[in-house]
Structure 1
């Protein structure tokens, strides 16, 4: 077994000599074997830090597990760190199953310790049987190819699993040979937990069809993992072609990804959600299908609300992934008493200065406008769009609804609520960055010319 583990470590480059590593030890057979194996690899000169999370689920038994691991760490002469978390309470507060809450608490604790001691890796005791169980659990819950890859030798940059190449049978034989004792978690027999049902009921049943089912599942996960490396590279290349990341949002060019294969589109959506949200929890295949329908919809403007405060918006040629409550959509209003620079809530800057009439109106960008200081006297009110706003566009004889202007100019819906509208009294004289009005225009008799410009303003 030691040769298999050493070869696996070398194949996947899990450690370098002298690394500081955090070893997660529950006190069970797998983690006890893991600690002994790592301590025995003297050539690696690893600095081991044993960590143990007390889940507070089994009363005195949980406390006894903690005491056992503390003593075990002492025997190996390594640092021991523990923490107690009321996982039952956590599951209620965060609306998670006990399994999910326990996992979240463990990984949070492991990450904190790793960061505090600048460890290169957090070492977990998952083995081949765990891998087979994980494949089946994800299959039962409904997972695609990436999910069925199950656990990787190295994940999230620092979590490593050097025992994935060995089975539970091999680990138990190793413990007997080494004369090592371990704790048995009574909850491992509780079939109310899905993993325990898979372990104690489903896998034994499947072995009646194929005695080597564990090996077959592990081999399948490994093959899918290799395929996933290729698909991940293709997804990254497509993301870089069609996507942009800015201010906590991801935007895709609709025309670009709409022509790609559906499988790649779904992977791009997953990548976008992960980029903005940080994880894919509660994002199901149904949600990805809904996003795809949004992309392919004939409607140029629509929105989809996903779990945990997440929104996907289709605005003409862009598909945007962002969290609810984006600051860019918050209404605002403020007054301008005279020339100066004024921050626009949500991003951007409005500058106003006394200026001369430009030599030519050709080439003046839409973000710049000139006004008659007497025709549009201060104070100016700057606010966001309200349904019913009307103005008289420069060069037009009739008034026009601002909403109709936005539609004609194909201004995306979220952006409409950010554009600054400038008023003098009750008169709207500039739809900022879009179109000035007849009111306040510069004429031959203008004595005071004011130049307004919007800077660093993006949807």
Structure 2
């Protein structure tokens, strides 16, 4: 027997929500033991009416006002949603079928029970004797409309997402604001939920209407300030990019660079491709350099590692005699705060050779006396997965055979 009160204290939930969670945990266990694919629940039309009315009192949108769905999570079936509670009791009594009523359903300290025993009877007596049927029907209508809007929104998500990597989703802001506000809100909610569900520490955190509206306001005001959302989510608008990040600190990365070869970092969703070339190829490669591409003296590149940039990292930028903090370089480069945690560097010990996307270190450049050079390009896995050309294909025509 589960201790509902203890579970509520442990999880910081109300007793009702704790009982709800434990009930579904029990049902999952029954399905596992019986090797069942679905379980039928006893929710009926009166339960649906109560749910719709409760959510109306709480200020839910069309999704919440759609009430309980016939099928939840592909395994919880509610076949009696269209049948009234009194009809079910009469059916059972007429056939001598035993049934049990939860004694807690009479406890009016719970809001649902007050709605059931006080508010709905009052509405039936004073306003509409068919209020339960009306509320249930309204829920069904809104659920159908919500399903249509949700399908439309999911199609729109794939249109406006311009980058998706572990813990990060970037939307094309101009495309996003072209959608009707109803679809726009659903896109934003979907993106936030996707990131929260992927984060084990934040899974279960709810995306509220106020959180969605906070992002809508960022778009309306064109604010570039870093916004904080539930579950350690952050959001920032820079130009046409609306970036959501699950956590400001990126996963730890420290990997030996393969020269020549391909260095993959799936935890960061990136690939570093390197090619060993004669130094005479530098003049042909030079137009490609900058951003996510760099060329190194081959001797200097020996022993490089791909890693996160760390507090205190310093680099001697190309053409300069002194060193500069990497954090200051990122500020000077106007790198958005939300993206600074994902910056990676190539380094040998504490000596930084390349701040990817920002600058090459002077001590690692290709010189007139260099015999060989290493050409490197950093790419996101998502860019390749979405059908764009690979790093090799993008540079192949400009590199010597």
TM over 0.5: yes
* Cα pair distance change 1:356/1:152, threshold 3 Å: same
Shift of 1:299: 3.4
Structure 2 residue 181 is matched with structure 1 residue 234: no
> Is contact 1:154–1:161 with CA below 8 Å preserved after alignment?
yes
What residue in structure 2 maps to residue 74 of structure 1? none
Structure 2 residue 281 is matched with structure 1 residue 371: no
Rounded to whole Å, the distance in 2 between the matches of 1:425 and 1:222 is: 63
Alignment of 1:136-175 (within 5 A): 136-175=53-92
What residue in structure 2 maps to residue 291 of structure 1? 215
Q: Match of 2:7, SS?
A: helix
Pairwise CA RMSD: 3.5
What residue in structure 2 maps to residue 68 of structure 1? none
Shift of 1:205: 1.4
Alignment of 1:44-443 (within 5 A): 84-115=1-32, 117-207=34-124, 208-243=126-161, 245-247=164-166, 249-278=168-197, 282-306=206-230, 309-316=231-238, 317-324=240-247, 329-330=250-251, 346-350=268-272, 355-357=277-279, 358=281, 360-366=284-290, 367-372=292-297, 376=300, 380=304, 383-385=307-309, 386=311, 389=314, 391-394=316-319, 402-403=326-327, 406=330, 411-423=335-347, 428-443=352-367
Shift of 1:145: 0.9
Q: Encode CA deviations 1:9-58: one digit per residue, 9 max, x unaligned.
A: xxxxxxxxxxxxxxxxxxxxxxxxxxxxxxxxxxxxxxxxxxxxxxxxxx
Q: Encode CA deviations 1:202-249: one digit per residue, 9 max, x unaligned.
A: 111111222211111112112212221321222122112112654354
Rounded to whole Å, the distance in 2 between the matches of 1:157 and 1:426 is: 52
* Cα pair distance change 1:301/1:417, threshold 3 Å: same
* Cα pair distance change 1:441/1:197, threshold 3 Å: same
Rounded to whole Å, the distance in 2 between the matches of 1:392 and 1:325 is: 26
Rounded to whole Å, the distance in 2 between the matches of 1:245 and 1:236 is: 15
Shift of 1:351: 6.1
Rounded to whole Å, the distance in 2 between the matches of 1:231 and 1:446 is: 61
* Cα pair distance change 1:241/1:280, threshold 3 Å: farther
Shift of 1:93: 0.8
Structure 2 residue 388 is matched with structure 1 residue 445: no
What residue in structure 2 maps to residue 33 of structure 1? none
Rounded to whole Å, the distance in 2 between the matches of 1:458 and 1:415 is: 17
Q: Encode CA deviations 1:172-216: one digit per residue, 9 max, x unaligned.
A: 221221122333332111111111111111111111222211111
Q: Encode CA deviations 1:34-87: one digit per residue, 9 max, x unaligned.
A: xxxxxxxxxxxxxxxxxxxxxxxxxxxxxxxxxxxxxxxxxxxxxxxxxx3222
Mean CA deviation greater in 255-264 or 89-98: 255-264
Rounded to whole Å, the distance in 2 between the matches of 1:283 and 1:455 is: 32
Shift of 1:456: 4.6
Q: Match of 1:90, SS?
A: helix
Rounded to whole Å, the distance in 2 between the matches of 1:381 and 1:280 is: 37
Gaps of 5+ in 2: 198-202, 384-401
Compute the TM-score of the two structures, normalised by the length of structure 2.
Answer: 0.78
Q: How many residues align?
A: 370
Q: Match of 1:355, SS?
A: strand
Rounded to whole Å, the distance in 2 between the matches of 1:217 and 1:435 is: 62
Q: Encode CA deviations 1:367-389: one digit per residue, 9 max, x unaligned.
A: 44323356x47665765444784
Rounded to whole Å, the distance in 1 between the matches of 2:301 and 2:208 is: 55
Shift of 1:294: 3.1
Rounded to whole Å, the distance in 2 between the matches of 1:335 and 1:161 is: 54
Rounded to whole Å, the distance in 1 between the matches of 2:133 and 2:63 is: 19
> Is contact 1:427–1:439 with CA below 8 Å preserved after alignment?
no
> Is contact 1:312–1:319 with CA below 8 Å preserved after alignment?
no
